[in-house]
Every structure is written in C-alpha cells, then in structure tokens.
Structure 1
Amino acid sequence: MYVKLLVWLTALLVDSCCFGVVASVDQRCYTFIYDDSSCPKTWLNWGNSCYKITETRFTWSNARDECRNLGGVLAAPSSDQENEFITQLLADGIVWIDCNDQDVEGTWECREDNAEVAYRNWYDGEPNNGAGGKYEDCAVVSIWNNKRQWHDLSCIHRLERAVCKMAGRPVLPV
C-alpha cells in the first residue's frame, strides 16, 4: 500500500507544473525543504542542488569568495521557483546573489559559476542605482512588501548574507 501511494504521489508531482514543489489550492507552487544526504551537513537540498545562507554578513565580493571557500558558488536564481525557494530560507532580511553591472553600467550579468543566467526578477523601479548618485552595482534577493524580488545595492554594503549553491552529490542506493 505504501509503495503504491509513493508511486502515485511521484507521478502526480512529475506531471505537475510544480515538479519538485508542492502545489496549493490557489495554483501557486510552494517548494518543500528537506534535509538530504546528497548535501553537506547544514546545507539544504532543492532540485539537484544544495543551498546555504551564511550566518556572517559580507560585502558582495567577500560573499562570493565565502561561497567558493565553502565549496559552492554565489547563487543566481534561474526561475521563479528557485527564487521562491531561496526566499523561503530567509527568516528576514536579504541575501547577495551573483548578479552585477560592474563591467558595464546598466548591463546586468547574472552568473552561476561561469554560466550566464537569463532569469531576472527585479522589484518595481529596480535596478535604480540608488538615491543621491550612489552606484548600486550588485543585486540582492529580499522579501519587501510581501514581494520576493531583487534590488540593487552598493557592492561594498556589509550588512548582507550570501546564498551559496552547489551541485548535490549523487546518492548511491544500498
């Protein structure tokens, strides 16, 4: 009986627009977070990847370095579902993501490792380069006014944590 239920639930999720997430009555997709042996301790699994929000707050470049030191990369969300998952990891506040326009002002590059990510999820009016002519060349994900979207900030702002990502390790059946 248990096996039949598991097969049915798996088929239901695979056929759903919300694969890897749990769909609710209002047709929105909500991710589920679970601990998985394919991720290092203190990292959480979603999809085929592992995620960690740092406790320490960094500048943007130090956040990127810290993710590398932990064996991952600074994450750059590539879908609404991944963006939603990352914001679910936040109790409050904001986290650095690997998006910036440091090379060419106004041309935002979002990278995960060395791969360009096309997805963008800017809050209304963002990126706005800040008030008073301050350059805001790096991006964060935040929950602001119940929206889970991106804002630009000065890259030397030191009040943000990092969202790190790494590929999940394959789990071999025993």
Structure 2
Amino acid sequence: MHVWLIHTCSILSLPLQGIKEESNKEKSITSNAVMQENGDLQYKKFGLGECSFPNYKVVILCLGVLNAVLFIAAVVLAVNCAKVKHGLPQDSHSAALQLISELDDLRSNHSDVITAEAEAKSALDGAIKNYTRLKENIEKQKIINDGYQRQIAGLRAEKQSLQSNVSALEGSCGRCQSGWVPFSSSCYLFSYTESTTLNKNWLESRVDCKRRGSDLIVIDNKEEQRFVSSTIDNMRAGRDIWQQGFWIGLSDTDSEGTWVWINNVTEVEQRYWMDGEPNEWGRHGEDCGVAVYSDHNPWKTRFDDNCLRSEKKWICEMRAN
C-alpha cells in the first residue's frame, strides 16, 4: 500500500510538468505573431486552429486555474503520502508491541499451568500415600475387630452359662437349709463345711445323711459331676487326692464289679473312674465309691475304697423344697 501511494504521487506530478511546457510553447507562438504583425502580416493560426486575441486570454486564465487546482491536489496527495509513510511504522510498532504483550501473557499462563500441574501431581502423590496408610489401618482394624468378635462370642457363651446358673440358683434359693449348697433342683451338704477334721466310714456317712432327711449323693449327669468336682477343689486341705476324697452313694457290695447307686440305678459310665480304678485293692476289698478333684483330668475323679475301714468326708443330697 505504501509503495502504491508513492507511485501514484509520482504519476500525478507529471501533468504539472506538461502544463508548464505547454505554457512556454504558447508564449513562443505569441512572440512570433507579434513579429509577423510588424511585417504587415495578419496572424491567422494559433495552435491547431484559428483563434482571436480575446479567446487566448480566457484559455490562459483557465490553464492557470487548472494549474493551481492540480498543484493543490498534488500538495494534498503529498501530505497524505507523508502521513502514510510516517503512520505505517507506528501501526506496525503498535501491532508488534501487542504481539509481544500477548506472547508474555501466554508464557505467564504456561508457567502457571506448569506450576498447577506440579501442585496437582504433589497433591495426587499425597492422596495416594494417605490412601495406602488408610488401607493398612483398615486391615489392622479388621484384625482387631475379628479378635473383638471372638471375645464377644465367648462372653455371650459365658453370659448364657451364668444366666443358666443364676436361673438354677434362683429356682433353688430359699428352698435349701442353712449350710446346704443349691444346684439345679437339689440341695447338697459337704461335711467339710461343718467340720474340716471329722471323718466317717461309708456306712456312718450314709446314716448321717439319712438323719438329715437326705442320702449320699447320686451323680446323674456331667453338669452335676462338674459341680461336685469344682466344689471339692475349693475344699481341699492338701495335694494328696487319696486323702481328700468324699463318700458318694455308689457301691458294688451286692455284686462285685457291678456298681449301683443308692437309688438302684446301675452306673454304666466308665470315663469318670481314675486310671486303674476300680481295682478291689487289698485283702478286705474296696466296694464303695469316692469322689475327688484331679488336676490332671477333671473327668477322672472317682476311685473305690474299703467301706468300713476307710474314713473320709461325705456329701449328702436332698431334693429342694
């Protein structure tokens, strides 16, 4: 655009030069016409045709006006061309400054993006570490919770057992005489509670129970067996189980080897006898049953002894009121 305007200004300056040359040519012709008049010649031709003197002045005037207009137009165009020449670098400089500013903004935004990316990556790494720690804590808590669940199950079983015992005690509470121990639907007297030194043989012990309105104990089930064994354990005065036994209502006096309870029920369960018992040891034999507590096996808690020659403590049983 800049080159085109300069080229246009150069073209427009050509008519001014042509007008100046035409003016000089007209002056030369006028001089020749004057010279011819002095020689009595009449001027007939001016330019390309005939022209009178008054018309020549009008033409000169018009050409002068046209010359002035063209000069003014040339000046205006020159001024505009100058403005264009000076304006183009300023506009280019402004555009360049704007581009540089936008480039700086892009660089700043790019730096912000990189910083934000680094911060996001750091936050992600922290979140992953927290997730890993949380997962480990959950596994640990799960193990601890499993242990608690097992403890709860054990406590519930123990609670149920205690509730059963409480129900049994409540059922027999107030229905047993003083000094007698309630269990299930019966009352029990351990002679140890009345005297720690008094012992009797099997027959004398049974007489004492009958005098109290009861008889020697008959163990009917494993719960009663556990009750008797644990109670004896709390009454032991020494570690010699052979000297810490209690007479029970079991004997084979009627038929050797056939053990019968005092209620005429034959004992068929063999697991409660201690190893090697009953053995009918000695010349006088052993026909009466004894209950003890065993540290080695809480179920093997019986042996046989001589009914008349051996003296021990005893256990009486009676139905609760």
TM more than 0.5: yes
- Give the letter aligned to residue 190 of structure 2: I
Counterpart residue number, 2:275:
124
Please say if residues 101 and 107 of structure 1, whose CA atoms lie closer than 8 Å, have aligned partners that are also in contact: yes
Deviations 1:64-92 (A, max 9, x none): 11111111110021112111111222212
In structure 2, the residue corresponding to 1:143 is in which secondary structure? coil
Q: Report the Cα offset of residue 159 of structure 1.
A: 2.9
Higher strand fraction: Structure 1 or Structure 2? 1
Aligned mates of 2:164, 2:291 — CA distance in 1: 21
Match of 2:182 among 15, 25, 45: 45
Counterpart residue number, 1:73:
215
Please say if residues 259 and 267 of structure 2, whose CA atoms lie closer than 8 Å, have aligned partners that are also in contact: no
Superposed, 1:39-118 pairs within 5 Å as 39-54=176-191, 55=195, 56-90=198-232, 91-92=235-236, 93-111=244-262, 114-116=263-265, 118=267
Distance 1:140 1:106, change over 3 A: same
1:143 paired with 2:293, answer yes
TM superposition score normalised by structure 2: 0.40
- Give the letter aligned to residue 213 of structure 2: G
Please say if residues 259 and 266 of structure 2, whose CA atoms lie closer than 8 Å, have aligned partners that are also in contact: no
Higher relative CO (Cα under 8 Å, sequence separation at least 6) belongs to: 1
In structure 2, the residue corresponding to 1:84 is in which secondary structure? helix
Distance 1:76 1:126, change over 3 A: same
In structure 1, the residue corresponding to 2:224 is in which secondary structure? helix
Aligned mates of 1:61, 1:156 — CA distance in 2: 7
Distance 1:48 1:119, change over 3 A: farther
Aligned length: 144
Aligned mates of 1:49, 1:87 — CA distance in 2: 16
Please say if residues 140 and 151 of structure 1, whose CA atoms lie closer than 8 Å, have aligned partners that are also in contact: yes
Counterpart residue number, 2:311:
159
Deviations 1:124-157 (A, max 9, x none): 2110112x44400000001134334110000014
Higher helix fraction: Structure 1 or Structure 2? 2
Please say if residues 20 and 47 of structure 1, whose CA atoms lie closer than 8 Å, have aligned partners that are also in contact: no
Identity %: 26
- Structure 1, unmatched stretches of 5+, are 1-8, 23-31, 170-174
- Give the letter aligned to residue 313 of structure 2: R
Aligned mates of 2:169, 2:275 — CA distance in 1: 28
Deviates more, 1:84-93 or 1:39-48: 84-93
Aligned mates of 1:142, 1:47 — CA distance in 2: 21
Which structure has the larger Rg? 2
Counterpart residue number, 1:4:
none
Counterpart residue number, 2:62:
none
Aligned mates of 2:203, 2:163 — CA distance in 1: 33
Aligned mates of 1:117, 1:84 — CA distance in 2: 20
Counterpart residue number, 2:58:
none
